Amino acid sequence: MPRAVPVDYQSRVRKPADFDAFWEDVLRQAAEVPLAPEMIPDPLRTSDDVEVFQVSYSSIEGVRIAAWYCRPARRAGRAPAILFLPGYQMDPPIPKEWARKGYSVLSVAPRGKLRSLRQFNPGYPNLLTHNIVDRHTYAYRGFYVDAWRGVDFLLSRAEVDPERLGVTGSSQGGGLTITTAAMRPEIRAAAAGAPYLCGYMDAVELTHTYPYEEINDFLRRHPESRGAVAETVAYFDGISFADRITCPIIVNIGLQDNVCPPETGYALFNRIGATDKRLYTYDGHGHDAGRYKHGAVVDRFFAQHLSPES
């Protein structure tokens, strides 16, 4: 029998008192680094209907970040844009399907991902626990900013309508969608699938699958660090970011997900500050979170909120 998932699950995540000050300082440091965007046409991947470019830009600490950028080959005026964010182990895809739907879209490879690992490469597994006892050097500090600076790249493009920006991703991409929607007010709509990086310390007790099991492995080696780990990850937990989200948002979870426990999805959703929010739950689904059923929901959601009339 599948275990019952309480919709009112109470997460142990407590947002640190200086959470906003910490991240505002990080954003200030990032803003001091010139974006220096570079966009190189990729004729081998370009087709009659979609133009493809290899992109790079600078993030916090001067780390160069790679991305794929696709846009419709035939455009009439400024287009809405999507920021696509990757899963933990996946390589960012070339997002031609989004471009075929009429969006300019940036698919980001944050530091440590393929094509963005020359200056920072903790490896997999290890990203989740790299410097996990210090919020100032924890791997996800730069990783989050790398995603957020993708918004700056889109805003730099003349063909992008700055009033129609969306963000989406699943698993780690779902967690990054939460943090990006929280920290970048330019985002007008967000769709987060099976969000990872939400309820870290809940998840390590609710599940023993990877990637969260990396934290349990770390704590077995360093049991004295549990307090420091919990203190650090509270600054990076999507549940701590959730009350800052004001744009329309949809979240989908699988009720049999043993990677990102559904309890953490409910806890996240309950903390989201937006008034226009909806949770889609998929019984009989694990970490895919009903992706194939849910794809049409995401398409309709972005068409509604990023259309010229929205």
Residues with a known catalytic role: 171, 257, 287
Between the two ends of the chain, the Cα-to-Cα distance in Å is 44
Spatial distance between the Cα atoms of 232 and 240, rounded to a whole number of angstroms: 12
Nearest one of 86, 111, 85, 106 to 95, comparing CA atoms: 106
Rounded CA separation 87/273 (Å): 24
> DSSP label at 166?
E
Largest CA distance in the chain: 59
The Cα–Cα gap between 80 and 55 comes to: 19
| CA-wise closest residue to 162 among 79, 98, 75 | 79
* Residues 180/187, Cβ–Cβ less than 8 Å: yes
Collapse the DSSP code of 230 into the 3-class scheme (helix H, G, I; strand E, B; otherwise coil) and give the result: helix
Give me the torsion for CA of 219, 124, 204, 289, rounded to 10°. Answer: 180
Contacts of 223 (CB under 8 A, 6+ apart): none
- Cβ–Cβ under 8 Å, residues 167 and 186: no
* Rounded CA separation 310/304 (Å): 7
